Amino acid sequence: MPGVDGFMYPNEVELQWSVLIVLYPFITGLVAGAFILASLERVFNVAAVKPTYRLALLTALAFLLVAPLPLQMHLGHPERSFEMMFTPHTTSAMAMFGFVYLWYLMVVLVVEIWLEYRRELVLAARASTGLKRLFYRVITLGSDNISPASLRIDDQVGRIVTIIGIPSAFLLHGYVGFIFGSIKANPWWSTPMMPIVFLFSAIVSGIALVLLLYIATSWIRRATVDMPCVDAVATYLFYAFLVDFALEMIDLIHRIYEADESFRALDFMVKTRLFTSQIVLQIGLGTLVPIGLLGLTQLLRLRDRTRVRIYVTAGVLTLVGILAMRWNVVIGGQLFSKSFLGYTTYKMGFATREGLLPAVLVLLLPLGILAALVKLLPPWASADAAHS
């Protein structure tokens, strides 16, 4: 059979989960990571990263809104997907996604953003007229009280929501890891490390994304990049990356040393079909190079301009590396036969329902949503004020 080396069970020849399912953990990871960065400022009072706080929240929201889309596009019967909410099968890891998602979206993220922006929304409602006024009035949910006492309550409630939010963000992405890690039929996925590795790689990717977005939006607005802020964010990225890399290496070394029945098959796969995406992109360009670059900024005294360039390079490489990691988990887990006797090939379409084009559009869509959110709820006012 074309594309098959050795022996596959016949039903395995065709891959089940496409590039869209690669995007699903990538996007939810960005959400969780961006939110955890925002929480640092809020809960641990890290003043230096404050300029990224609102941007991180809006980024998390923009990507979270898109997160279910690749799943819907992939389903054989998307019109039945609501059954997962109405008649969930309690033993299914996947059935919990709707609840974890809604909890995170409605209880954590939207509430926190609303509390953060309430004062400005009320002021905007007062200052505008006509339809615009109506819009802002609806968004404020009719609340008009911005007395210092009421804002203090907002702040306290917001803090509590963030404190609930951190374990929720951990839950959201740890849970996505569990979807893969709990499949005992697949030795490439089945490891209790999976939720933890997913979680830390999520934190890494989310921090990298917010760092890049902050620098990019500063350039677009022709504002100066707040160096203490990006330095602090880059330091977090560096240390989160070290933990993430250590976890991934523990998993890898453990697999190599144990060398169980699946090892020969998986080892061969990594050295051949996954070599570019796993060794070159994920571990080399996507992990070692950015860790090295970020390490340089920790060791050497570099000029501001050089540091920003390094942060941008490291950030982009990080995102490429984490995307490659998702690819290697999702696609890699389907390239070998569960008989361990052969390998198949993933044939990605272009303009097909699950092809490259829709995947690229799904990845760009959150950036469009973020642009709209930034217009509607400008994150800069307070950021610039905090800095001045």
Partner 1 sequence: METTRRDFLMVGTKLLVMTAATAAALEHVLAGAPEAAAAGPYNTAEHWWAMLIDVEKCIGGGHCVRACKTENNVVDEPMYFRTWVERYHINMSDPDHPIVDSPNGGINGFSEKYADGDGKTFFVPKMCNHCADSPCTQVCPVGATFRTNDGVVLVDKDYCVGCRYCVQACPYGCRYLDPRTHTADKCTLCYHRLTKGLVPACVEVCPTGARQIADLKNPNDPAHEYLRTHKIQVLKPQMATGAKVYYNGLDGAVR
Q: Which residues bind partner 1 (CB under 8 A)?
A: 1, 7-14, 16-17, 71, 74-78, 80-81, 83-84, 87-89, 91-95, 97, 179, 183-186, 334, 337-341
Q: Nearest Cα to 21, choosing from 143, 135, 164, 189?
A: 189
Please identify, using beta-carbon distances, which residue of 11 and 147 lies nearer to partner 1: 11
Closest distance of CB 260 from partner 1, Å: 10
Ordered alpha helix ranges (H), 76-226? 83-86, 97-102, 110-127, 130-139, 148-181, 193-220
- Reduced to 3 states (helix: H, G, I; strand: E, B; else coil), residue 140 is coil
Two tokens at 56?
């991180």
Nearer to partner 1, 77 or 375 (CB): 77
Give min distance, CB of 98 to partner 1, in A: 9
CA distance 160 to 143: 20
**Dihedrals φ, ψ of 336, to 5°?**
-105, 155
Nearer to partner 1, 95 or 376 (CB): 95
Residues near 379 by beta carbon (within 8 Å), at least 6 away in sequence: 53, 54, 55, 57, 58
Helix (H) or strand (E) holding 192: none
CB-based contact 289:310 (threshold 8 Å): no
Instruction: Tell the smallest beta-carbon distance from residue 282 to partner 1 (Å).
Output: 21
Query: Which of 83, 267 has the CB closer to partner 1?
Result: 83
103's CB contacts (< 8 A; 6+ apart) are: 168
* Smallest gap from residue 338 Cβ to partner 1 (A): 6
Confirm if 335 and 344 have CB atoms less than 8 A apart. Answer: yes
Q: Are strands 5-6 and 342-343 parallel, antiparallel or unpaired?
A: antiparallel
Residue type, 143: S
Q: Tokens 């050295």 map to which residue?
A: 271
Residue 15 vs 38, nearer CB to partner 1:
15
The least distance separating partner 1 from the CB of residue 95, rounded to whole angstroms, comes to 4
Residue 360 is encoded by which pair of tokens?
Answer: 């690229």
76/148 with CB nearer partner 1: 76
CB of 210 to partner 1, least distance (A): 31
Q: Which is nearer to partner 1, 184 or 375 (CB)?
A: 184
User: What minimum distance in Å lies between the beta carbon of 258 and partner 1?
Assistant: 14
Alpha-carbon distance 119 to 145, whole Å?
Answer: 8
* C-alpha angle 165-167-171 in degrees, rounded to nearest 5: 110
CB of 97 to partner 1, least distance (A): 8
When the beta carbons of 80 and 301 are compared against partner 1, the nearer one is 80
